[in-house]
Amino acid sequence: MSNFKQKTVYQIYPKSFKDSNNDGVGDFAGIIEKLPYLHELGVELVWLNPFYPSPQRDNGYDISDYCAIDPRFGTMTEFEQLVAEADRYGIGFMLDMVLNHVSTEHEWFQKALAGDKYYQDFFFLEPAKENGDLPTNWVSKFGGPAWEKFGATDQYYLHLFDVTQADLNWRNPNVRKELFDVVRFWMKKGVKGFRFDVINLIGKDKVLLDDPTGDGKFMYTDKPLVHDYLQEMNVATFGEDVTIVTVGEMSSTTIENCIDYTREDRHELSMAFNFHHLKVDYQDGEKWTLKPFDFEELKMLLHTWGKDMSEGDGWNALFWNNHDQPRALNRFIDVENYRVEGAKMLAATIHLNRGTPYVYMGEEIGMLDPGFDTMEKYVDVESINAYDNLIAAGNSPEMAMKIIQAKSRDNSRVPMQWSSEVNAGFSEGTPWLEVGASYKEINVVTELETGSIFRFYQRLIALRKELPIISMGDYQPYATDSKQVIAYIRETAEEKLIVLNNFYATETEVVLPEEFLAGELLVQNYAHVAIQKVQPLRAYETLALYLKK
Ligand code: GLC
């Protein structure tokens, strides 16, 4: 067994990490330059978002060639150098495998369009219904219908995402063979893991039917077939190397499925991402709305997932941020007054939890949303569609803008803030996406000189390697009645850990279990902490107490 459970993953959005040739786009050479920084933080795995040739309609998630490199990021030789250099720092890469769909510019789709039956079977092609309606009533996740006319034919192809992202038909064994070859291709390059994009959507039914109640989601998500395909992929590819770490991105999933996706004896994946905890500020489940986060809902979700995954022997991927999410700091914390305390509290909440923590670039220095004020600054296809839809639904331009500002995926995709120099030290050229306004104050140089968030992350990452309880302990919810604290206990046969996290700027208190009064103060985000039976917690305070049994 590999010791992956003691490792922390860092996510790099290559386009925005570091630009070495000043063309405004981050690249492999830029990542090589920053390996010492990642090493100092202590991370051992780095997930890279897609860097393959792509028309970039969906920022690289629309892949036109799975086994090549988009020249703007570098060459294959540079990729191999990157893998070798990172290895010297004890860092391995997890590559993003977007196997649910391909770009319509991919050779397979182009051949299908040209009439090649063999490749037409790679996709979901259906005629309109007899009454002329689209094959099903499913809605694309980026807005509008999920079907588009297939060239000049009478058929339509399925695209659960953008019209240029055609869904692949995994029922066809030739599709699976091709995709497994892709995974093997990258394994041979020495990568140490994979992140499988929207992988719980690959089990679509043979006959696709209308969704009587919703947008189609429950007609194609988490189908039992997904488990079969994952087991098949495991055997055919990464399963042969037990050190490879895999994570599946599970859209609208369930705990039962995530246990099955990740339980070791099922030979599917190492862990799974779910997104329920990042929908607690959606009004009625709708992303493009404004609502303060629902604390009770968040607490319930963290506890239920923590406990049930623990009891079911599943393994969670733990995260607050990624390239699809606005910064958690802006969503959960009063950043005007408590950015630093809040950043640490959020970090402790997941890093001491049961599962594998992910740090999204810039999180370790407390980066914020950029707060762009005009639509011209946004490039993300989802945001642009959402703006149009909000206006069409009768919102004022001011309101639509406010919602985009809070919810756009571009919030996290802005360039990494390295310094207070021009373009935050990311590039001397014009960045593909403008840098955030906060870079003069919030950047790596300033953080390392005078800040404390990076050091806090460093400590959490180191603790996971040192103390078995962090990776091995089970998860027990604690103080579940609290109106502002999310607390939990971790336990193994030898050790115990309690973690208290105040999610508000107001003070509160938690009654500690007696035994922890003699515990060691392991992690805290305030100086001068006295441990008491009735433990007061200041604004966004986090406290972890540890004891050996
Ligand atoms: C995942 C990716 C997202 C992408 C989508 C379609 O959700 O994280 O960025 O747009 O899949 O591939």
Domain segments of the chain: what residues? 4-101+173-368+416-459, 107-167, 373-407, 472-548
Mutate to test the pocket of ligand 1, among 13, 94, 165, 198 (most ligand atoms within 8 A of CB): 198
- Which amino acid belongs to residue 215? D
Q: What is the pLDDT of residues 331-367, one digit of tens each?
A: 999 999 999 999 999 999 999 999 999 999 999 999 9
Q: N- to C-terminal Cα distance for the chain?
A: 26
Mutate to test the pocket of ligand 1, among 16, 48, 58 (most ligand atoms within 8 A of CB): 58
Bridge partners (DSSP) of residue 312 are: none
Ligand 1 centroid to Cα of residue 499, in Å, is 33
- Which of 19, 70, 162, 249 is labelled catalytic? 249
Site residues for ligand 1, CB cut-off 6 Å:
58, 61, 98, 161, 197-198, 249, 323-324
Tokens of residue 443, six digits:
């950047």
Task: Compute the distance between CA of residue 66 and CA of residue 181 in angstroms, rounded to an integer.
Answer: 10
Q: Is 325 exposed, middle or buried (0-12, 13-18, 19+ CB in 10 A)?
A: middle
* Residue among 186, 184, 182, 234 nearest 48 (CA): 186
User: Which residues, including other chains, have CB under 8 Å from residue 166's CB and lie 6 or more apart?
Assistant: 101, 102, 103, 104, 106, 109, 123, 157, 158, 159
Tokens of residue 140, six digits:
């694309």
Per-position DSSP letters for 167-183, written without gaps between them: EB-TTSHHHHHHHHHHH
Residues of the chain under the 70 pLDDT cut:
1-2
Atom of ligand 1 nearest to the CA of 324: 9
Task: Compute the distance between CA of residue 278 and CA of residue 351 in angstroms, rounded to an integer.
Answer: 17
Task: Compute the distance between CA of residue 296 and CA of residue 431 in angstroms, rounded to an integer.
Answer: 40
Ligand 1 centroid to Cα of residue 368, in Å, is 21
The DSSP output letter for 5 is G
Residues 4-101+173-368+416-459: name the CATH superfamily: Glycosidases (3.20.20.80)
If residue 536 lies in a helix (H) or strand (E), which one and from where to where?
strand 534-537
Ligand 1, atom 7, residue with closest C-alpha: 198
pLDDT for residue 2: 46
User: Which residues, including other chains, have CB under 8 Å from residue 253's CB and lie 6 or more apart?
Assistant: 200, 221, 222, 272, 274
Tokens of residue 262, six digits:
């990740």
Ligand 1 centroid to Cα of residue 197, in Å, is 6
* Residue among 503, 549, 501, 504 nearest 524 (CA): 501
Bridge partners (DSSP) of residue 97 are: 196
pLDDT for residue 1: 39
* Residue among 252, 274, 248 nearest 261 (CA): 248
User: Which residues, including other chains, have CB under 8 Å from residue 152's CB and lie 6 or more apart?
Assistant: none
The DSSP output letter for 158 is E
- Which of 44, 96, 148, 197 is labelled catalytic? 197
Ligand 1 centroid to Cα of residue 465, in Å, is 31
Computed from CA positions of residues 380, 386, 388, 390, in that sequence, does the dihedral angle turn out positive or negative? negative
Atom of ligand 1 nearest to the CA of 101: 12
Q: Is 65 a catalytic residue?
A: no
Mutate to test the pocket of ligand 1, among 64, 161, 221 (most ligand atoms within 8 A of CB): 161
User: Which residues, including other chains, have CB under 8 Å from residue 140's CB and lie 6 or more apart?
Assistant: 146, 159, 160, 161, 162, 163
Best CATH choice for the domain 472-548 from the list 2.60.40.1180, 3.30.460.80, 3.40.190.10, 1.10.540.10: 2.60.40.1180
Ligand 1, atom 6, residue with closest C-alpha: 61
Architecture of domain 107-167: Alpha-Beta Complex (3.90)
pLDDT for residue 529: 86
Q: Is 197 a catalytic residue?
A: yes
Ligand 1 centroid to Cα of residue 123, in Å, is 19
User: Residue 381: helix, strand or coil by DSSP?
Assistant: helix
Ligand 1 centroid to Cα of residue 356, in Å, is 20
